[in-house]
Amino acid sequence: MSKDKLVIFDTTLRDGEQSPGASMDKEEKLEIAQQLEKMRVDVIEAGFAVASPGDFEAVKLVADTIKDSTICSLSRAVAKDIEVAGDALKGANSGRIHTFIATSPLHMKHKLQMEPNDVIEQAVKSVKLARSLCDDVEFSCEDAGRSELDFMCRIIEQVIDAGARTINIPDTVGYNMPDQYANTIQQLIERIPNSDKAIFSVHCHNDLGLAVANSLAAVQKGARQVECTINGLGERAGNASLEEVVMAIKTRPDYFNVDVDIDTRHIVPTSQLVSKVTEFAVQPNKAIVGDNAFAHESGIHQDGVLKNRETYEIMRAEDVGWANNRMVLGKHSGRNAFKSHLAGLGIQFDNNDDLKQAFVAFKELADRKHDILDEDLLSLVKR
């Protein structure tokens, strides 16, 4: 049986850009969008067109240039925002207006200062306006993670009737636990009478480090779009990371009953581009795209990987865009990796005693020095 497609919606250029210090100009956004298109991302949220003249120009440039991915602009449930988003998207091959309004009691009372029924009315009006400008409309219940299920059922049923074709359920403040969030998605799909007319989407924040876990749990309960960002960039602690979501699905086809179209070989180059443009370094131990994600320094691991990579690697470095996996010689390394590395430098040992002696000298050096370079090894062997 063929698997359902999971839509990958990248919001690096919108929610990612909301990280303090990560703002991008239109040329930078276009360069990243081109890389995302190459990777075969389904939807690229290029910005929030009404936010500034520069962001309008950026969304417009991306919409006018990118042909293979759908280009999206965010907008509040406010007529002007929606009209400006529609204007910016006019040149798109495939455009999407994404409109949102908060649905949690806290946000409605204190931030919007609106009655719940008025929130529903404004949402419906906004979706209708967006549909008059664009066939593809997404609606988000902001702070869905702290919203009441009955109220979300009411508003979502009505926005679907008004023409929204993607319904996004953001855990805006990263408050939910995986089973709780997945249960919300399942309940919404089961209880909303017209839920079959829309794709349910998830958008998770990482305040408790659960953004990817929550997104994947929701996929198991029927979500068919995941909103995510490269390197997990995003407001506060960030969003679900695209590379982690995609590689979880690719690596565990036995577990997930969905598939993604992403060409994963572009993941590392895209991560490096986003890091260069935003000047946000990627931590070395970051899954998939960190420098150490496919590096081994411990002797037992190195020995295993030399015999069979699968002993300590669940993915191939080459499949996500690294040139290869890496063996790093250091204080935890063992004789097998040491010997194999020196063989790569053209050095063979005549007998076991020579190897033993060189290895003892290497361990002494590794206790003193952080990074062992090939020059260090060569001079050590000469001695």
Ligand X SMILES: CC(C)C(=O)C(=O)O
Ligand Y SMILES: CC(=O)SCCNC(=O)CCNC(=O)[C@H](O)C(C)(C)COP(=O)(O)OP(=O)(O)OC[C@H]1O[C@@H](n2cnc3c(N)ncnc32)[C@H](O)[C@@H]1OP(=O)(O)O
Q: CB atoms < 10 A from the CB of 291, how many?
A: 15
How many residues touch ligand Y under the rule CB under 6 A: the total is 15
Residues in the chain: 383
Which of 10, 136, 142, 303 forms a contact with ligand Y (CB under 6 A)?
142
Copy the structure tokens of residue 372. Answer: 């062992």
Q: Which stretch binds ligand Y (CB under 6 A): 43-51, 59-67, 160-168, 246-254?
A: 43-51
Copy the structure tokens of residue 76. Answer: 């509040």
CA count, 13 A, side-chain hemisphere, 373:
3
Site string for ligand X, 306-345 (x = CB under 6 A): ----------------------------------------
Q: Which stretch binds ligand Y (CB under 6 A): 73-81, 129-137, 213-221, 356-364?
A: 73-81
Q: Would you say 18 or 333 has its CB closer to ligand Y?
A: 18
Give how far the C-alpha of residue 24 lies from the chain's centroid of Cα atoms, to the nearest Å: 18
- DSSP letter, residue 195: G
Question: Does residue 45 bind ligand Y (CB under 6 A)?
Answer: no
Question: Does residue 56 bind ligand Y (CB under 6 A)?
Answer: no
Pick from 214, 212, 232, 215: which is nearest to 224 by CA?
A: 215
Q: CB atoms < 10 A from the CB of 289, how many?
A: 27
Question: Does residue 49 bind ligand Y (CB under 6 A)?
Answer: no
Q: Would you say 158 or 239 has its CB closer to ligand X?
A: 239
Question: Does residue 176 bind ligand Y (CB under 6 A)?
Answer: no
Is residue 161 helix, strand or coil?
helix
Question: Does residue 140 bind ligand X (CB under 6 A)?
Answer: yes
Site for ligand X in 144-203 (CB under 6 A): 168, 170, 172, 203
- Cα-atom radius of gyration of the chain, to the nearest Å? 25
Alpha-carbon distance of 131 to 67, in angstroms, equals: 21
Site string for ligand Y, 106-125 (x = CB under 6 A): -----xx-------------
Residue 140 binding result from ligand Y, ligand X, none, given CB thresholds of 5 to 8 Å by partner type: ligand X
Site string for ligand X, 6-25 (x = CB under 6 A): ---------x----------
Enumerate the H helices of the chain as residue ranges: 26-38, 53-65, 79-88, 105-106, 116-133, 149-162, 178-191, 211-220, 242-251, 267-278, 299-307, 335-344, 352-368, 374-382
Residue 78 binding result from ligand Y, ligand X, none, given CB thresholds of 5 to 8 Å by partner type: ligand Y
Alpha-carbon distance of 54 to 62, in angstroms, equals: 12
Copy the structure tokens of residue 89. Answer: 């998207």
Question: Does residue 96 bind ligand X (CB under 6 A)?
Answer: no
Q: Which residues bind ligand X (CB under 6 A)?
A: 15, 100, 140, 142, 168, 170, 172, 203, 205
Q: Which residues bind ligand Y (CB under 6 A)?
A: 15, 18, 48, 50-51, 76-78, 100-101, 111-112, 142, 172, 235
